[in-house]
Chains A and B, each alone.
Chain A
């Protein structure tokens, strides 16, 4: 699976959009981009995933660049409960299993 690079930490004001970047310059054509988050000491929570088209669900939007070398997770109206570590993971579909969690981005949402 391709390696991902994320900033170690970010701040965001409550009510603002949080834009979390991820670089995956070695991504290959059959690799998906997944986002998970881990709120302090809890189990990771699936957020969203995509291949090349932008995706949106009730939690977030995922914007993938045309060359697929980077992506951005957008939380449109961040709340204090969105404070968590966010993980960008690249994974081949049909590879079965292991999610390779790196260090992620620690997002702090402030009042």
Chain B
């Protein structure tokens, strides 16, 4: 039973480009969460999605960031016009039920040059 999968594992973008981060939840999980970890800091919640719905995006920056979890396919975290401050590790987690244990993927490390 594969765990949470994220790709790419490492992503380098120049300032102004777009970054797309993908997350495939564990089999049978329909709840997805995105977290960001800035260098030398703890993880911060960004957004919680269920299939085709954004439930809570209170941790998402108001501009340039968006997330989706379509009926088919992985969840996508999209960052438009990246800036150096977006450089971080982005972790996705999934759970089987709304308040269940969250299982994390290996993360995507975004570097903006």
Give chain A's interface residues, CB within 8 Å of chain B.
34, 38, 41-46, 49, 87, 91, 93-104
Contacts and interface: CB of A to CB of B under 8 A. Distances in A.
Nearest to B31: A97
B6 to A, nearest CB: 8
Contact of A94 (B43, B45, B98): B98
Main secondary structure, interface of B, reads: strand
B45 A99 contact: yes
Interface of B: 4, 31, 33, 35, 42-45, 48, 55-56, 58-59, 89, 91, 93, 98-99, 101-107
Contacts of B106: 42-43
> Interface of chain A, helix or strand or loop or mixed?
loop
B46 to A, nearest CB: 9
Which of A42, A45, A93 is the most central at the interface, judged by chain B CB atoms within 10 Å of its CB? Answer: A42
A60 to B, nearest CB: 14
A101 B43 contact: yes
A38 B42 CA distance: 10
Given A43-B4, A98-B56, 12 more contacts: A38-B43, A43-B104, A44-B93, A44-B104, A46-B103, A91-B99, A96-B55, A97-B31, A97-B33, A97-B55, A99-B102, A101-B35
A34 B101 CA distance: 9
A69 B42 CA distance: 23
